[in-house]
Structure 1
């Protein structure tokens, strides 16, 4: 009887957390047991050994921590995985350069982190002394593996988390807690089937078999992460993307179910998609600062964006 009562409490707490997450704007919320990601260890090791991280040397750091959330939070029991929608209809001026959808508006690190902290505050107020940490692309966590384990979606051929109901245009975020909760069932079925649209249409052939992406060949890597000059052999392969790339998501059949985000802070600055190529090529640092003052595009800096634009000419 005591065991049933404990299970009931876990379930009740999990339901309250999910209900609160929904009111905060999260479109998905699932919970998995905080444990070692045994299946992911050889995949991560192989990915690093193949140097698919390119100059993203930080990806090789904290190998054990990436695989075990208990090294991030003492006595961790649960990983709450959440999705936050950023999809929007984009009407670009014809013959313009392109910026990835996720970077159209305010930096998701701040927007989603704010929501996560609210959720953590709610848990601590409702349940009591709970130790936990909030993450959104801000720590060595294999987010897509945890999303699958928590039942949010499966990992597609482009290595992104896909949902039959919501597609893939959503940010992932996590709360790691030292609190026992009711755990969701992982999604074991790969609903991509025989579809290879993301592989076939990747402009730089960065998407490999077995749900592997060669990060060092991805347009997002070249336009954001790479600090040196872009290799000349990539000339003409970027399909006008100057910051990030949405090709593999745009062609994914599951994204026909994507709905516009309700988060106004993710809606892009009106100038971004009205610029012609000539406007982009003549952009000044003052205009860059005005348009991208709260945007992820700040990461590449004015000089980086100029480099990307110059490479397209």
Structure 2
């Protein structure tokens, strides 16, 4: 394929991605992630994935998109902003901002399907798959490789423009495109995220022990919460945003423009006593299509009971 055609196809895809609401799109060559392999192996060998056994599965697929998608040539990485315009009552138990509205899997999957359909319609027989945090794909590594940001000391993807409050998704397709290049790291000497983590889960710059993270405890852990951490949850009942909230780059966060990410009014107005008295019916109402359903009513009740003084 000629270079000018690759450029034209790349421009076409990025323009459509923007029209669909993605604020950033970067593209990299589908190939083995050589730098990530030893990092992932080391992280798993130290059991930093805790009880998230699925993280140890499909090791090769996580590192090589050509195993996931036959004939894969390009990884199209996309960012979708979720930073809210309104926040929970400051006296409330807290949930991560990403879970305020409709579950991102549904919202992004629809946009990715639309983008894939557009590519096939405008360019021709292009085959591929859409991924939203639900398959063995190293989202942040691909986004960084595609020049969308750098992976910060809290292991989140950071951008100078809007910080880190966004979802990452990919299309892996069998079309050769014009590839982007990584950007430089702009964390500098800052250690705000490391210093602020309530459970010291950021064990060293760029390394997060997932088994110590509040998000892991409140979402992934299915058994009783460890009493050693009783005073360290900082009122988080689902997820945790501390390492993002303190990041200086998130001063530049801008409110999203996706109506589906807007929260239920009760989520914003509830105080601690309201959450402590929540019923399964109210849970179903507030979190009807929310990612919070992942922890189920029983999981949220467990977390709230743990937080009660």
Normalising TM by the smaller chain, what interval?
over 0.9
User: Does structure 1 residue 104 correspond to structure 2 residue 100?
Assistant: yes
The CA deviation at 1:94 is: 3.6
**Cα distance in 1, alignment partners of residues 90 and 176 from structure 2:** 52
Query: Match of 1:38, SS?
Result: coil
2:113 aligns with 117
Residue 210 of structure 1 and its aligned partner are, at CA, apart by 3.6
Asked whether 1:23 is paired with 2:29, we answer no
* Aligned 8 A contact 2:194 2:202 in 1: yes
> Counterpart of 2:213?
218
Give matches, 1:113-262, under 5 Å. 113-187=109-183, 189-262=184-257
User: What is aligned with 1:263?
Assistant: 258
With structure 1 as the length reference, what TM-score do the two structures score? Answer: 0.97
Please list the CA deviations of residues 182-223 of structure 1 after superposition, one character each: whole Å capped at 9, or x if unmatched: 001112x21000000000000000012140110000000000
Separation of aligned partners in 1, 2:170 and 2:163? 19
With over 3 angstroms needed to count, the CA separation of the structure-2 counterparts of 1:254 and 1:94, relative to structure 1, is: closer
After TM superposition, the runs of 4+ consecutive aligned structure 1 residues lying more than 3 A away are none
1:241 deviates by 0.3
Q: Report the Cα distance in structure 1 between the residues aligned to 2:187 and 2:234, rounded to whole angstroms.
A: 25
2:6 is matched with which residue? 10
RMSD: 0.8
- State the Cα deviation string for residues 85-131 of structure 1 (Å, max 9, x = none): 00013333242100100000000000011000000000000111111
Q: Secondary structure at the match of 2:91?
A: coil
Measured in 1, the distance between the counterparts of 2:80 and 2:202 equals 24
CA separation in 2, counterparts of 1:57 and 1:117? 29
Cα contact 2:85–2:256 (8 A) shared by 1 = no
CA contact (8 A) 2:194 2:205 kept: no
Paired position in structure 1 for 2:89: 93
Structure 1 residues 33-52: aligned runs within 5 Å: 33-52=29-48
Gaps of 5+ in 2: none
User: How many equivalent pairs are there?
Assistant: 308
Distance 1:90 1:240 in 2: 19
Quick check: 2:6–2:177 contact (8 Å CA) kept in 1? yes
The alpha-carbon deviation at position 304 of structure 1 amounts to: 0.3
Q: Within 1, Cα distance between the matches of 2:281 and 2:290? A: 15
Quick one: distance in 2 between partners of 1:161 and 1:30? Answer: 13
Q: Which region of structure 1 is more displaced relative to structure 2, 83-92 or 217-226?
A: 83-92
Q: CA deviation at 1:13?
A: 0.2
Alpha-carbon distance between aligned partners in 1 of 2:92 and 2:234, rounded to the nearest angstrom: 10
Unmatched segments (≥5 aa) in structure 1? none
Name 1:32's counterpart in structure 2.
Answer: 28
